[in-house]
Structure 1
Amino acid sequence: MRRASRGSDAVNQRMKPANPRTRLYVVLLMLGLASSALVVRAVDLQVVRKDFYQEQGDARYLRDIDIPVSRGTIFDRNGEPLAVSTPVESIWANPMELLEHADRISELANAAGLDEESLKQRLIERSDKEFYYIKRHLNPDDAQAILKLNIPGVSSQREFRRYYPSGEVIAHVLGYTNIDDHGQEGLELAFDHWLAGEKGIKRVIRDRLGHEVENVELVREAQPGRDLTVSIDRRIQYLAYRELKAALQEHHASSGSMVILDVPTGEILAMVNQPSFNPNARSNVDPAYRRNRAVTDVVEPGSTMKAFTISAALESGKWKPHTPVDTSPGTYTLYGHTISDVHNKGLIDVTGVITYSSNVGAAKIAQTMTRDHMYDVFHRFGFGEATGCGFPGESPGYLPIAKNWGPVEQATIAYGYGVSVTPLQLAQGYAALANGGRLRSPTFVKGAQNPDRAVIDPQIAASLRTMLETVIVPPGGGIKAAIRNYLVAGKTGTSRTAIGGGYQKKYISLFAGMVPASNPRLVGVVVIHDPQGAFYGALVSAPVFGKVMQEAVRLLDVPPDNVQNWYTAAPENAHTVRTTRQAPDGATEESNYEEEVPE
């Protein structure tokens, strides 16, 4: 019995309830620990790691958004727009959110004109990103139609797209911008900082769907792009483009360029190249078509260089315009190298070397001068260095240093071989002759500060202009450059296309001239590559000059000289045409379309 009683007491003792005070202490201890943990956590969040968590929160809700700005407009000298920016919409998506609604991807692809599988794959590849362009530069109506589908994660963004109203007519000068509206070539690249402005930045709060719900602050104010007024005259540009293109088609030539300068200011009124491209639809365009050949490509100038050789001769004091030069028997052998004229010109004067374009005469005159003097004159006229027009990728041409000239090299350089120039360099040199011997760097900006500098005596420049006038009347070869009621001065040229170690049986036709010769306002240079059939500059390039300048002087209201001009009609594909005209004094003059091209 006692044993049973002791067992019962043990059981009762085990079942005896715990002390309430103990329980209270335990509960209080647990609450204290929990409170302490919360306090520690709060201090950690609010004090120790406040910046970190603030940044994390902001990253999920605050966004810095670009404020797009319109690129500045490019105007021609008369205020006509040449390049404008139009507002467009670009559709973008949050890849992660859109992939959560993968069933809507096909709907989006159809609306945007994209391949569904390709779009889905790109979204998967960018699933860790929050931004991906679906399609850019849509017109606002098309973008709105996509947004109305209410596809999760899809939004739009305002951007600007560049538009060129004149298309390929002025493409090489302006260049173009990329899809982000940054200049890539031409004046768009040269003046990119001026035109582009600076995007603004605003800080906004976005909801989980990416919609802006609140503007927080303006981080940086937008600076719109500034407008640019260039020197180009769109009317003259179109004339040059039209006539150059027509000449290439007529003569089945491969390419060509034309440059027109305003003599008093050095401003470039027109610069065209063929073939061209449309900057509004530049995809799949051959890169060669985008090259501004008038600035980047060089040619051997042929007989157009004789004007500068004679300038050096007159400056040397050894020659005058009427000093005789014996070119008989039509050839001149120098250290085993034979220089020839197409026909024996016999005894002519220095002016006749220009009029008849005698290689023999130019070579013999060159041999009387020092190579250093010839080099100095050529270099003063800007050959061998960039013009300073600021066009991206401009070539400096090639003028070998004087110490590398042997007697043969000096002779051939005198008539335009062994030296290379760009069409713009050649125009700059002729503009210096037209401007009284003062050279002014060409510019693409209307009203730019563009000081000139003296490169040759004004009397020598005036003498050269008078000599060059003889090329445009019988018996000169540049009659097709004549302009009714205006005196024209200029020089034809024909050279061969150079290749490594020699020349191809391909020709380059050139003409450089000024109008009116009595008080020059315009200088123009025409270069046409690889014409078929007739290839002389007198027959291929001179007519382009005449047709363009005839209209240009009218558009610019240049006062006429009111002189009687000579006009001749040359049979197509004729290399040599001789016609007889009655001169004012009753004398008979002979027109010669030939140009000397060395073998």
Structure 2
Amino acid sequence: MRLDGALYPWRFRLVLGLLAVMIALIGWRIVDLQVLDPGFLKGQGDARSVRHIPIPAHRGLMTDRHGEPLAVSTPVTTLWGNPKELVTAPGRLDELATALGQEPKALRERITQLAAREFMYLTRGLTPEQGDEVLALKIPGVYSQEEFRRFYPAGDVAAHVVGFTDIDDRGREGIELAYDEWLAGVPGRRQVLKDRRGRLIKDVQVVQNAKPGKPVALSIDLRLQYLAHRELRNAMIEHGAKAASLVMIDVKTGEILAMANQPTYNPNNRRNLQPAAMRNRAMIDVFEPGSTVKPFSIAAALASGRYQPNSMIDTRPGWMRIGRYTIRDVSRGDMMDLTGILMKSSNVGVSKIALDIGAEPVYAVMQQAGFGQDTGLGFPGERVGSLPNHRRWREAETASLAYGYGLSVTAVQLAHAYATLGNGGKSVPLSLLRVDRPREGTQVMDKQVADAVLKMLRAVVEDEGGGGVRARIPGYQVGGKSGTAKKISGTGGYTKDAYRAFFAGVAPVSNPRIAAVVVIDEPSTKGYFGGLVAAPVFGKVMAHSLRLLNVTPDNLPSPELKTADAKARNGGRG
């Protein structure tokens, strides 16, 4: 072919050649996509229609030591909407708002603000039946998805221990937070087909199954927890107290059997929740323990070898001066042995002992008992308190440490220290989880010293004139110590009329099983002393607990005494 009249015939041929090459390349690409590699077009189509939606995984079951549920996950329905679709049906928005229990005006404003988006939550946490009722209205742009919500069968009774989750099912307080990774499941994935408006066309397959969270069995005994909760609440009402805490520990295993606080809250309904009610005071609040630490000062005295249980201390005239400080006893001074010092809770007596042996032995015993030390529980927000260790101890610092001032502890630490006394001076690690195999403890106090102090504590409760008589339990020997401490004011000094009342003890003394501590914060009516306010709570809770745990009584009257009593009731007739 000849291109007559063309000035540049080679250019025309070049253009024709390029067009031919382009046509060939396009043809080859068509053959490649349709015949040789059809997966590319399929993938592009899937990218516009195939979606992976999550399959929610429920959290692990939380139970008490006997399998009673404390936290369970229940399926709920979450309704969401596509604002772009909702704005196309303005006439049905009032109907939707009524079905959701919302204000129509507020719902319209939300949809208008989010009109450029394709997703908005309408409401979350509905029961499946409630969700189906709304979906049955068939309002354009309203869709649902399945979620799980945490429910707490024990309600406010175990709230401070169990904690709660947020709306996205993540742990926010208590064990729910501490063991969030363990409890939280792994969501699965499901492959579905959707149209360009996001509407589900076909459920294709499950790509990855959801893995539920792992269960957790707590050391808490729900029966004892209910007892502690009830008695603390009654004590707060009776004495007009600001707050209260109770901790109960298994002496042999270190398991926390009950941990109750007042005020408390209902984790199932947190609409009007007050932040102060959320505090697990037994682990977070620190305080000066007052006379409840005197048994450990006495233990230091016995361990020093300078004192025996029958050693006599002159506490007359009931007060003593150290520099510009005056230490006073509630009762008049007298010659007392070590048991008498604990029974009368003599500040003067224990101060004289501490000044004689020095502050270091007292500090060492308290440190080994766990004061100022991490409990190892890993509970969120737990505090370790403070046990001062001065390079040079002044006399006033030595004396105040001996009778429970100048240091700060938590209720859990104090209960753990008394559990160590009850366990023959052996400290067993604490646990909020059920212990199937008891862990080996550490001997932190000579067993003979611990047993001697426990015998003295029995006299504090069982003998007339002791400060803990209101903690007595029929049929059981109880050992314990009351305490009363002024609260520190905001200016750094002590308040004039605000106190904390304590009672700490173990039972039964012959073979200790339970150690418990009761703290009553700011009792305002019917007295404020620990032996008057906290000891009765200890006695009531411990009495029921020992019976529920089938602990053998160790203080039953002898058969001869029973016979004598029966004769006396019958006027001397056999």
Q: Can you list the C-alpha shifts for 1:384-416, whole angstroms capped at 9, x where unaligned? A: 122112211111011112326321011001000
Residue 4 of structure 1 is matched in structure 2 by none
In the alignment of these two chains, the number of paired residues is 538
Q: Can you list the C-alpha shifts for 1:537-572, whole angstroms capped at 9, x where unaligned? A: 01100000001111111100000013459xxxxxxx
Residue 593 of structure 1 is matched in structure 2 by none
Q: Using the TM superposition, give the Cα deviation of residue 213 of structure 1 relative to its aligned residue in structure 2, in angstroms.
A: 3.2
Query: In 2, are the aligned partners of 1:182 and 1:192 still within 8 Å (CA)?
Result: yes
Q: Using the TM superposition, give the Cα deviation of residue 371 of structure 1 relative to its aligned residue in structure 2, in angstroms.
A: 2.4
Letter in 1 for 2:335: L
Residue 451 of structure 1 is matched in structure 2 by 440
Three-state SS of the structure 2 residue aligned to 1:118 is: helix
Q: In the alignment, which of 475, 492, 501 is matched to residue 501 of structure 1? A: 492
Residue 539 of structure 2 is matched in structure 1 by 546
Residue 480 of structure 2 is matched in structure 1 by 490
Q: In the alignment, which of 334, 347, 352 is matched to residue 364 of structure 1? A: 352
Q: Does 1:515 align with 2:507?
A: yes
Residue range with higher mean Cα deviation, 530-539 or 442-451: 442-451
- 1:7-26 aligned within 5 A: none
**Length-normalised TM-score, structure 1:** 0.85
Q: 1:235 to 1:156 in 2, by over 3 A?
A: same
Residue range with higher mean Cα deviation, 540-549 or 54-63: 54-63
Q: Using the TM superposition, give the Cα deviation of residue 128 of structure 1 relative to its aligned residue in structure 2, in angstroms.
A: 4.0
Letter in 2 for 1:452: G
Query: In 2, are the aligned partners of 1:153 and 1:209 still within 8 Å (CA)?
Result: no
Three-state SS of the structure 1 residue aligned to 2:391 is: helix
Between the two proteins, what is the percent identity of the paired residues? Answer: 48
Q: In the alignment, which of 414, 426, 429 is matched to residue 438 of structure 1? A: 426
Q: In the alignment, which of 507, 515, 524 is matched to residue 532 of structure 1? A: 524
Q: In the alignment, which of 183, 188, 195 is matched to residue 183 of structure 2? A: 195
**Bigger radius of gyration among the two:** 1
Residue range with higher mean Cα deviation, 465-474 or 439-448: 439-448
Residue 560 of structure 1 is matched in structure 2 by 553
Three-state SS of the structure 2 residue aligned to 1:471 is: helix
Residue 453 of structure 2 is matched in structure 1 by 464
Three-state SS of the structure 1 residue aligned to 2:78 is: strand
Name the CA distance, whole Å, in 2 between partners of 1:59 and 1:145.
33
Q: Using the TM superposition, give the Cα deviation of residue 295 of structure 1 relative to its aligned residue in structure 2, in angstroms.
A: 0.4
Query: In 1, are the aligned partners of 2:331 and 2:344 still within 8 Å (CA)?
Result: no
Letter in 2 for 1:111: A
Query: In 1, are the aligned partners of 2:359 and 2:398 still within 8 Å (CA)?
Result: yes
Name the CA distance, whole Å, in 2 between partners of 1:437 and 1:91.
59
Name the CA distance, whole Å, in 2 between partners of 1:52 and 1:105.
42
- 1:12-411 aligned within 5 A: 35=23, 39=27, 57-216=45-204, 218-403=206-391, 405-411=393-399
Q: 1:51 to 1:414 in 2, by over 3 A?
A: farther
Q: Using the TM superposition, give the Cα deviation of residue 337 of structure 1 relative to its aligned residue in structure 2, in angstroms.
A: 1.1
Three-state SS of the structure 2 residue aligned to 1:372 is: helix
Q: 1:52 to 1:340 in 2, by over 3 A?
A: farther
Three-state SS of the structure 1 residue aligned to 2:134 is: helix
Residue 565 of structure 2 is matched in structure 1 by none
Query: In 2, are the aligned partners of 1:174 and 1:186 still within 8 Å (CA)?
Result: yes
Query: In 1, are the aligned partners of 2:291 and 2:483 still within 8 Å (CA)?
Result: yes
Name the CA distance, whole Å, in 1 between partners of 2:54 and 2:544.
48
Q: Using the TM superposition, give the Cα deviation of residue 76 of structure 1 relative to its aligned residue in structure 2, in angstroms.
A: 1.0
Residue 570 of structure 1 is matched in structure 2 by none
Q: Can you list the C-alpha shifts for 1:500-529, whole angstroms capped at 9, x where unaligned? A: 321112010000011101100011100001
Unpaired runs of at least 5, structure 1: 1-24, 566-599
Name the CA distance, whole Å, in 1 between partners of 2:182 and 2:215.
8
Letter in 1 for 2:220: I
Q: 1:128 to 1:44 in 2, by over 3 A?
A: farther
Q: 1:343 to 1:117 in 2, by over 3 A?
A: same
Q: Does 1:480 align with 2:470?
A: yes
Name the CA distance, whole Å, in 2 between partners of 1:59 and 1:339.
82
Q: Can you list the C-alpha shifts for 1:98-123, whole angstroms capped at 9, x where unaligned? A: 22333332221121112233223333
Letter in 2 for 1:389: L
Q: 1:426 to 1:36 in 2, by over 3 A?
A: same
Q: 1:313 to 1:167 in 2, by over 3 A?
A: same
Letter in 1 for 2:421: L
Letter in 1 for 2:546: V
Detail structure 1 runs of 4+ shifted over 6 Å in the superposition.
Answer: 28-34, 43-47, 50-56
Q: Using the TM superposition, give the Cα deviation of residue 82 of structure 1 relative to its aligned residue in structure 2, in angstroms.
A: 1.2
Name the CA distance, whole Å, in 1 between partners of 2:47 and 2:274.
45
Q: 1:543 to 1:410 in 2, by over 3 A?
A: same
Query: In 2, are the aligned partners of 1:277 and 1:285 still within 8 Å (CA)?
Result: yes
Query: In 1, are the aligned partners of 2:163 and 2:173 still within 8 Å (CA)?
Result: yes
Query: In 2, are the aligned partners of 1:256 and 1:275 still within 8 Å (CA)?
Result: yes
Name the CA distance, whole Å, in 2 between partners of 1:284 and 1:56.
51
Q: Can you list the C-alpha shifts for 1:322-371, whole angstroms capped at 9, x where unaligned? A: 11111011111112211011222311011211111000011111101232
**Length-normalised TM-score, structure 2:** 0.88
Residue range with higher mean Cα deviation, 425-434 or 180-189: 180-189
Q: 1:40 to 1:130 in 2, by over 3 A?
A: farther
Letter in 2 for 1:457: D
Name the CA distance, whole Å, in 1 between partners of 2:107 and 2:40.
36
Query: In 1, are the aligned partners of 2:315 and 2:348 still within 8 Å (CA)?
Result: yes
